[in-house]
């Protein structure tokens, strides 16, 4: 059997490292759609410029009305200009909304997909250190924060800036001193508000952290609702959740009140500015230095800047909050992967399925030693059972084959290729796994089985189901293969879920098969059904089976007995039973248990 994965098959999953800084992270996606964002910025700036020009059109209209002749001709041209600018401004604003709905929405969707892709590239050790619910919440929140930043920059920050520039230009035509005063006033206010906002960044980041933690806590509680009910812990968990939500509420209140302080500071500054500019214009009008239209435009633009800068100040504070949320996510999710693919992204060429553990040494992150100079050779096509007491290193061994973590010393080879020198996805495509409890998605049975090979036809899926002895019970369900299995397959029994997992492995048709205690959680009747399916599945493959129930591996070619990370017995099962060693002792214990189970009155095995 030859099972290879070309470089192109996994290239779509490859992703350049995500930037760690929020600005660089956002700019990465802006550059991808640079022409769309460039056009959006042009339209928004043009619309804002039209809005300023409308105020100047009003000045011309007022000056025309001041004409002593009071003819309609004196106001017609200013009127047409005024109305025309209003209409063109509205067209531009609606155009900006149309462009934004396409560029910003799609960009935020890409961000969430890329964050998920990067997240799934982390090692299983990483997921053991982080709350999975909180990780999912962070991905969703980051898309929302990025969208908020982009829309705020586009429609809340850019227009006030254009208003300011336009006002400076128009004020320069009236009195250059007013333009200079406006620049100085706005610069002082901007420095004060921005500095105030930066000082409160830690409050916004703390709120973002607490908010993501709440999402994780709720997901954890909902996922374990059976345990809560079984232990009558509803009040206990309510109190615990209330405490966590109380912490988040306090963090939100501190962030909120800081924003309110910024608003008060800004209102005072702008009140002084608006009053001063209008008083100055009125004084110049009494001296005859400016026209009535000049006073109107100064008044209109001053109040426009007043309201625009209020939006600008609030937008800057809001952006500070959103950047804090993105920084929190990037700090957790966008960190470099523990397990990196080789630079050349070389795929694994799995032709037969020979496995070699060559003098490997491995320890857990806490320093606990599991393997020390461990070696084991498994020829292609051999069926090997791995048995031993809990903590012997059995499950760690099969996880290392899948490169869910890296060894500290030595090498693991498949068909002579070190697994750390090939693409991780190509490695795992060559391995089919049937775990202790098959994980199912809240999707149809057809989709769950097809997960083993997404391009498989319906006929191939059904054939795999027949091999796994699950076609019959599937067809008895109301919707057959279109039946939704529920979250984690809750609508199916343990034996049914396990047979779907075996069907998935049949469909994958990989040269290496790992069975990680596939029958340990099943009753005797279900175990027999699973054994029938496994007997077909193991044919023609290299098989490693971790088993506590020795009946699972009794017909295998070889049994490896492990203790404290070492091989203490190795050989065919019949031979090991005759040696009166550890395997023989375990066999007798389980055989006595089987005998007791079958002779106990009233025993039921359904």
Greatest extent of the chain over all pairs of C-alpha atoms, in Å: 123
Q: Which pLDDT does position 596 carry in this prediction?
A: 46
Residues 358 and 230 occupy one common structural domain: no
Among 383, 379, 360, residue whose Cα is nearest residue 547 = 383
Examine the domain organization and report whether 79 and 120 are in the same domain: yes
CB atoms within 10 A of CB 364: 11
Q: What is the pLDDT of residue 328?
A: 80
Distances (CA, A) of 103 to 31, 109, 150, 162: 12, 10, 10, 22
- Angle in degrees, CA 102, 103, 108, rounded to 5: 105
CA distance 598 to 227: 32
Tally the C-alpha atoms within 13 A of residue 176's C-alpha that lie toward its C-beta: 0
Whether 482 is in a domain gets the answer: no
492 within a domain of the structure (yes/no): no
Q: Are residues 106 and 236 in the same domain?
A: yes
438 part of a folded domain = no
Residue 481 in domain: no
Q: What span, in angstroms and rounded, lies between the C-alpha atoms of 344 and 346?
A: 5
Residues 314 and 383 in one domain: no
Strand order, beta sheet including 383-388: 431-434, 512-516, 542-546, 383-388, 558-563, 566-571
Query: What pLDDT shows up at residue 524?
Result: 59
Same domain, 375 and 524: yes
Q: Does residue 423 share a domain with residue 329?
A: no
CATH for 574:
3.40.50.300
* CATH number of the domain enclosing 199: 1.20.1560.10
Domain-located, residue 253: yes
Q: How far apart are CA 339 and CA 124, in angstroms?
A: 10
For residue 569, the cross-strand partners are 561
Number of compact structural domains in the chain: 2
* CA pair distance 320, 145, nearest whole angstrom: 10
Asked if residue 345 belongs to a domain, the reply is no
Domain boundary among 333, 363, 391: 333
Both 405 and 553 in one domain: the answer is: yes
- 267, 300, 333 - which closes a domain: 333
Q: How far is CA 27 from the centre of its chain?
A: 19
Q: Are 290 and 423 members of one domain?
A: no
- Judge if 70 and 160 occupy the same domain: yes
Do 515 and 563 have their domain in common? yes
Looking at 284, 302, 333, the residue that finishes a domain is 333
- pLDDT at residue 410, rounded to an integer: 92
Domain contains 441: no
Contact criterion met (CB below 8 Å) for 545 and 462: no
Has residue 8 been placed in a domain? no
Same domain, 149 and 44: yes
The upper half-sphere exposure of residue 399, i.e. CA atoms within 13 Å in the direction of its Cβ, equals 14
pLDDT value, residue 310: 66
Sign of the CA dihedral with 98 first, then 103, 106, and 108 last:
negative
Query: Cβ neighbours of residue 160 under 8 Å, at least 6 residues apart?
Result: 305, 308, 309, 311, 312
Walking along the chain (606 residues) 10 residues at a time, the average pLDDT comes out as: 40 59 90 91 90 76 64 70 84 90 89 88 78 78 88 87 83 79 76 70 70 71 72 78 82 78 74 76 74 72 71 73 82 83 81 89 85 91 88 87 88 90 87 82 87 87 86 87 80 82 86 80 62 77 84 85 89 86 82 49 36
Residues 102, 146, single domain; the answer is yes
Q: Which residue, 493, 535, 544, is CA-closest to 517? A: 544
- Find the angle CA(593)-CA(598)-CA(601) to the nearest 5 degrees: 115
Residue 2 confidence (pLDDT): 41
**CA triple 315-320-321, angle to 5 deg:** 100
Q: Which domain holds residue 548?
A: 352-430+510-599
What sign has the CA pseudo-torsion 550, 552, 554, 558? negative
């Amino acid at each position: 059997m030859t099972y290879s994965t070309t470089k192109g098959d996994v290239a779509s999953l490859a992703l350049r490292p995500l930037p760690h800084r929020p600005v660089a992270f956002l700019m990465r996606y802006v550059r991808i759609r640079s022409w769309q964002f460039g056009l959006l910025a042009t339209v928004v700036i043009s619309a804002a410029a039209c809005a300023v020009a409308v105020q100047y059109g009003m000045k011309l209209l007022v000056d025309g009305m001041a004409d002593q002749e009071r003819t309609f001709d004196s106001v017609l041209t200013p009127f047409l200009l005024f109305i025309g600018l209003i209409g063109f401004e509205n067209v531009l604003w609606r155009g900006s909304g149309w462009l934004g709905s396409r560029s910003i929405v799609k960009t935020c969707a890409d961000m969430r997909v890329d964050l998920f892709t990067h997240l799934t590239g982390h090692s299983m050790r990483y997921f053991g250190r982080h709350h999975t619910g909180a990780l999912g919440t962070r991905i969703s929140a980051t898309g929302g924060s990025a969208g908020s930043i982009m829309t705020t920059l586009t429609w809340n920050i850019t227009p006030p800036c254009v208003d300011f520039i336009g006002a400076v230009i128009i004020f320069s035509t009236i009195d250059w001193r007013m333009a200079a005063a406006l620049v100085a006033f706005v610069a002082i206010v901007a420095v004060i508000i921005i500095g105030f906002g930066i000082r409160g960044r830690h409050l916004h980041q703390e709120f973002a952290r607490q908010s993501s933690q709440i999402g994780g806590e709720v997901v954890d509680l909902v996922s374990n609702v059976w345990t809560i009910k079984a232990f009558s812990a509803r009040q206990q968990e309510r109190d615990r959740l209330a405490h966590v939500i109380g912490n988040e509420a306090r963090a939100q209140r501190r962030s909120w009140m800081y924003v309110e302080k910024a608003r008060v500071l800004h209102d005072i500054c702008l009140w002084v500015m608006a009053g001063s500019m209008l008083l100055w214009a009125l004084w110049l009008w009494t001296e005859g230095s400016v026209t009535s239209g000049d006073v109107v435009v100064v008044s209109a633009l001053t109040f426009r800047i007043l309201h625009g800068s209020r939006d600008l100040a609030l937008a800057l504070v809001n952006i500070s909050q959103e950047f804090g949320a993105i920084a929190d996510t990037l700090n957790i999710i966008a960190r470099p992967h523990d397990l990196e693919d080789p630079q050349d992204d070389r795929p694994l060429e799995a032709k037969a399925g020979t496995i070699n553990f060559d003098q490997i040494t491995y320890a857990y992150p806490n320093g606990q030693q599991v393997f020390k100079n461990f070696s084991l050779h498994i020829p292609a096509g051999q069926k090997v059972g791995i048995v031993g007491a809990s903590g012997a290193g059995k499950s760690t061994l099969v996880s290392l084959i899948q490169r869910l973590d890296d060894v500290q010393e030595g090498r693991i080879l498949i068909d002579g290729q070190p697994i750390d020198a090939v693409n991780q996805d190509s490695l795992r495509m060559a391995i089919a796994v049937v775990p202790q409890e098959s994980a199912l998605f809240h999707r149809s049975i057809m989709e769950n089985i097809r997960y083993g090979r997404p391009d498989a036809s319906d006929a191939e899926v059904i054939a795999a189901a027949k091999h796994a002895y699950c076609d019959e019970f599937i067809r008895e369900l109301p919707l057959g293969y279109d039946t939704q299995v529920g979250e984690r397959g809750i609508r199916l029994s343990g034996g049914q879920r396990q047979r779907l997992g075996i069907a998935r492995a049949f469909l994958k048709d990989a040269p290496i098969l790992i069975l990680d205690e596939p029958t340990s959680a099943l009753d005797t009747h279900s175990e027999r059904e699973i054994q029938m399916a496994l007997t077909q599945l193991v044919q023609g493959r290299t098989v490693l089976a971790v088993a506590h129930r020795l009946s699972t591996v009794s017909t295998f070619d070889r049994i490896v007995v492990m203790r404290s990370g070492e091989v203490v017995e190795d050989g065919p099962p019949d031979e090991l039973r005759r040696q009166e060693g550890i395997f023989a002792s375990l066999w007798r214990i389980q055989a006595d248990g089987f005998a007791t189970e079958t002779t106990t009155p009233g025993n039921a095995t359904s």
